[in-house]
Every structure is written in C-alpha cells, then in structure tokens.
C-alpha cells in the first residue's frame, strides 16, 4: 500500500541508467576538498573576495581568504572567475515522491523515506539547478500527512541523500480535495479525541495489569523488576506529555502504542516540527487558532502557505510564525466591488511585516521552476539582493531547524557548495559544479543530458 512493488524495479533500472551520467569523478579522499573562488558568498550579503573553503569529512572546517592554509592531503580547486555559495535550498516540496499523498486522511505513520525515489529526474534536475538541500514532505491533500526529510539531490539511497534527522510532520488545515473546512477540522479533532480516548483506556488497562501482576507477585509466583509498568515491553513509560492527567498516563511508553497513536502523540507532545498546510488566509486563521489551542511553541511550527495568505500577514507576524511560501509568489484576486483584478506580491508583504519565511519554486513553469528566478523576482519587487537570497538559502535552513548547518558557508556547516559562473540571482549565471558533503556530484562539462539539450541531436 505504501510502497509500490514497481518502485523497486524502477529504482534498479534508473540506478543502472544514471550511474554513468552523474557519477562523481574519483577524488583523492571522500569528502575532502578545498575550493577557491573569485567570490565566496558565505551568507547572504557577506562576500569574501578570492575566498577559500576547506571541507574535511563532509563538513566545512575552514573558510578564509586566498592565504588560507590548505591541509597537505587536500586538493585545491581554483576558480578565479566564479562564485561559490552554499547552493539553493528548497524549503518544502512534495516532488521526488512516487506520489505526494496516500488515500488515508490521517496517516502520521507515513515517512517520505519510504517514498522518495532517489533516481527520479526531479532530483537530477534540481542538482543541475544548483540546489543542494530539499525538504521533501508529503503533500497537502491530507489531514495528517506523515514525516518529511531533508535531503540532498544526490545519492542512490535515501540514507545517502539525507541531510538531517528529519524535517517534521505534515498537518493540513486547508481542506482535502472535495472536503469542506469544517469536515477537515472535524477530522483533525476526531483523530485527536479518538487518541485521547484510546490513551485513557490504555492507561486504565495498564493499571489493571499492574494490579494483577502485583497480586501475582504477592502470591510469590515470580519476582518482578522495579519500575516495570507491567506490560512486559519496556521499563520506561512517561511518553505522554500533553493534555490533562488521567489514570495510568505516566505508565504509557512509546512501545505500548501502534503507529498511528505514536505519530499523533509525537505531534501533540511537540516532539516533531509541524508543517501546517494553510494555503489560504482563512486556513492561516484557523491554523493559528489550532496552534494556540495546542500551545505549540512558534519555532516548532511552519505555516505552509500560498500567496493568498498575504492577507493574514498581520496575524502571522503577531504570532511570530514561520512561513514557507509555496507556489506562485503573486496573489491575483478580483475586487468584489469594482470587479477589477488586483495583484499582490506576497513576499513583499511578508518581508514588510518582518516574518521569517522562505519561497519555493513552481514546478512545470519555465522560470519559476528555478529558485534563483523566484528570488530574482523578489529583487524586482523591491527586496535587497541579500534578503532575496536569504529566502532560498538561510531561511529554509531556519525553518528546518538547521541554522548554521545548511544554506551558509561557515565552519561546521555541511560541505554543500555550488559554483556559479556569476551572481546567484543573475539570469545569465550557470551552475558549473556542485559538491555535496565535499564530494563533487555535478559538473556542467560532463552533464550529457544538458549538452545534448544545448547542442541538439547530432546524429
């Protein structure tokens, strides 16, 4: 149900097919590299002329000027004309999955790592576009969608691609296709209520079990370890950390629960980052209310919105919410009084209100399918270049809780680097090379598909 059988065969086939295409050239040592470039953008707005970056074991260990000392065993690559930066980051996408959502509306047990297709053309194309990190998470046509992962667009297995511990859980406030908002919210409430009811019963059950076993122990049949809650699976308990107290609450441990319950408890405990799908401003209003009702910390919730949500920008700013803007950057609405079309550029509104947000690409549209283009649009609409670049580098990292690890070139960050022929927001800039974890994974000169595209079919 969750994984198609054909996936495995596709995987095998595709892996074989692309093995020669994007295979990294053999480097002296895995994950060790030093790159020097005419310009190194360490963070948006911070540039080192003729900077040097040293990566060891997949992490950046040193960033400095042209005189930076290079370890003796590391090869230095020098690109005096080029620009080096951490690569673009796509904060939220459901591409690269065999399908974005399952049919089950409440599916907290799902995890995209079972669904990511590492050799899909999507990842190959993202790599070609200079993207070094993507947050892949189930789609929005759901109630509770499942766990997402932060991955690099390169690797033959999900583990190989993975860049972190996990991105968080998808929760949709915006209704599923064909549902009304009240049906959506009732379903969410129903899942929560049902869980609480089940937990109460379980607690009672555990208490009864303990009493039984205590009776048995009294009878002297066998000795029991201290601290055992009696269910024989574990010795901890205390997994439930939300809601009102009830009998046996402390005794419930993670292993006592099934997959659905475990996932829901982790949401309600605040153990996982929540990606709250709220496409419209109305959904944002309901989403904020949900977050408030559940007392979630603002930094553990990301509102996944569309441009329409600009109308709720004040509410988002007031709540200190983090926002992942997806799809088109522009909201087009009809003024109901005059019947005229009104256009609003959502990033400008969010920026004006001081909201931490990211922007995403729009698949299927030439131009907006590149993050560089989207960020450049923000510059056109009045943002500074540094602020616009932040929307596709450091801000996604912030939303992932990976600040300082991704989206920047600094000591301790992942050795993900993208080498461009020019400025990251310039239309004429080409992606020359990409390193992930210090390994060269893309080279424009050996990108056969691109070459064929550019040169045309010769035979």
Q: Which is nearer to other proteins, 192 or 229 (CB)?
A: 192
| Minimum distance from residue 105 beta carbon to other proteins (Å) | 9
As a whole number of Å, the CA-based R_g of the chain is 25
Q: Which is nearer to other proteins, 179 or 242 (CB)?
A: 179
| Minimum distance from residue 143 beta carbon to other proteins (Å) | 11
| Minimum distance from residue 170 beta carbon to other proteins (Å) | 16
**DSSP letters of 109-123?**
T-BGGGTB-TT-HHH
Half-sphere exposure of 77 (CA within 13 A, CB side): 22
Q: Can you tell me whether residue 31 is helix, strand or coil?
A: coil
Distance in angstroms (rounded) separating the CA atoms of residues 92 and 139: 9
Q: Which is nearer to other proteins, 205 or 282 (CB)?
A: 282
Largest CA distance in the chain: 88
| Minimum distance from residue 321 beta carbon to other proteins (Å) | 16
First to last CA, the chain: 44
- Residues near other proteins (CB under 8 A) are 104, 106-107, 178-186, 189-190, 193-194, 197, 258-260, 280-282, 285-286, 311-312, 335-338, 340
Q: Which is nearer to other proteins, 159 or 318 (CB)?
A: 318
Q: What tokens appear for 109 in the block?
A: 């047990």
| Minimum distance from residue 189 beta carbon to other proteins (Å) | 7
**Short-list 8, 14, 3, CA closest to 114:** 3
Phi/psi of residue 242, each to 5°?
-135, 165
| Minimum distance from residue 142 beta carbon to other proteins (Å) | 12
Q: Which is nearer to other proteins, 185 or 240 (CB)?
A: 185
Whether 401 contacts 95, CB under 8 Å:
no
Question: Which ranges in 294-414 belong to alpha helices (H)?
Answer: 313-319, 346-352, 371-380, 385-391, 394-400
**Short-list 255, 145, 260, CA closest to 198:** 260
| Minimum distance from residue 248 beta carbon to other proteins (Å) | 18
Distance in angstroms (rounded) separating the CA atoms of residues 110 and 147: 6
Q: Which is nearer to other proteins, 46 or 190 (CB)?
A: 190
| Minimum distance from residue 353 beta carbon to other proteins (Å) | 16
Distance in angstroms (rounded) separating the CA atoms of residues 249 and 204: 9
Q: Which is nearer to other proteins, 77 or 200 (CB)?
A: 200
Task: Collect all residues with Cβ–Cβ distance below 8 Å to 317 and sequence separation of at least 6.
Answer: 353, 354, 355
Beta strands 76-85 and 33-43 are parallel
Q: Which is nearer to other proteins, 97 or 110 (CB)?
A: 110
* CA distances, 455 to each of 128, 212, 443, 450, 452 (Å): 17, 78, 17, 8, 5
Q: Which is nearer to other proteins, 235 or 314 (CB)?
A: 314
| Minimum distance from residue 337 beta carbon to other proteins (Å) | 4
Q: Which is nearer to other proteins, 174 or 438 (CB)?
A: 174
**DSSP letters of 149-163?**
EEE-S--SSHHHHB-
Q: What is the 3-state secondary structure (H, E, C) of 305-317?
A: ECHHHHHHHHHHH
| Minimum distance from residue 104 beta carbon to other proteins (Å) | 5
Question: Which ranges in 40-83 belong to alpha helices (H)?
Answer: none
Task: Collect all residues with Cβ–Cβ distance below 8 Å to 167 and sequence separation of at least 6.
Answer: 135, 136, 137, 147, 148, 149, 150, 273, 275, 400
| Minimum distance from residue 231 beta carbon to other proteins (Å) | 18
Q: Which is nearer to other proteins, 154 or 286 (CB)?
A: 286
Q: Which is nearer to other proteins, 307 or 441 (CB)?
A: 307
Q: What tokens appear for 433 in the block?
A: 């090379």
Half-sphere exposure of 57 (CA within 13 A, CB side): 3
| Minimum distance from residue 193 beta carbon to other proteins (Å) | 6
């Amino acid at each position: 149900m969750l994984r198609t059988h054909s996936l495995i065969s596709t995987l095998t086939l595709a892996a074989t097919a692309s093995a020669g295409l994007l295979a990294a050239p053999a480097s002296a040592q895995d994950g060790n590299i030093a790159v020097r470039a005419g310009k190194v953008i360490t963070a948006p707005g911070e540039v080192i002329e003729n900077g040097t970056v040293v990566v060891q074991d997949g992490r950046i260990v040193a960033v400095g000027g042209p005189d930076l000392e290079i370890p003796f065993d590391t090869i230095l690559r020098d690109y005096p004309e080029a620009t080096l930066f951490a690569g673009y980051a796509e904060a939220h996408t459901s591409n690269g999955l065999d399908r974005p959502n399952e049919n089950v509306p409440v599916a907290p047990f799902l995890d995209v790592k079972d669904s990511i297709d590492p050799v899909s053309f999507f990842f190959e194309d993202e790599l070609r576009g200079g993207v070094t990190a993507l947050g892949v998470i189930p789609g929005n046509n759901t109630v509770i969608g499942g766990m997402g992962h932060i991955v690099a667009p390169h690797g033959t297995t999900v583990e190989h691609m993975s860049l972190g511990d996990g991105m968080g859980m998808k929760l949709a406030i915006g209704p599923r296709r064909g549902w009304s908002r009240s049906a959506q919210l009732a379903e969410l409430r129903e899942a929560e209520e049902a869980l609480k009811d089940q937990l109460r019963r379980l607690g009672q059950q555990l208490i009864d079990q303990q009493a039984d076993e205590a009776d048995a122990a009294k009878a002297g049949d066998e000795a029991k370890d201290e601290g055992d809650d009696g269910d024989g699976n574990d010795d901890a308990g205390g997994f439930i950390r939300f809601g009102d107290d009830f009998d046996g609450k402390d005794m419930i441990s993670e292993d006592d629960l099934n997959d659905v319950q475990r996932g829901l408890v982790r949401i309600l405990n605040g153990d996982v980052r929540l990606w709250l799908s709220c496409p419209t401003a109305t959904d944002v209003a309901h989403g904020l209310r949900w977050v408030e009702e559940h007392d979630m910390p603002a930094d553990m919730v990301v509102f996944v919105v569309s441009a329409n949500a600009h109308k709720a920008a004040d509410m988002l700013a007031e709540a200190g919410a983090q926002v992942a803007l997806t799809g088109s950057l522009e909201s087009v609405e009809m003024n109901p009084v005059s019947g005229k079309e009104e256009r609003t550029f959502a990033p400008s509104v969010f920026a004006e209100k001081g909201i931490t947000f990211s922007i995403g690409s729009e698949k299927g549209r030439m131009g907006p399918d590149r993050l560089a283009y989207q960020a450049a649009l923000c510059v056109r609409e009045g943002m500074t270049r540094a602020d616009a670049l932040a929307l596709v580098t450091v801000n996604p990292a912030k939303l992932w809780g990976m600040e300082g690890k991704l989206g920047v070139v600094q000591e301790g960050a992942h050795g993900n680097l993208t080498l461009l022929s020019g400025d990251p927001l310039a239309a004429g800039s080409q992606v020359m090379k990409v390193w992930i974890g210090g390994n060269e994974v893309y080279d424009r000169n050996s990108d056969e598909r691109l070459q064929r595209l550019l040169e045309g079919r010769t035979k």
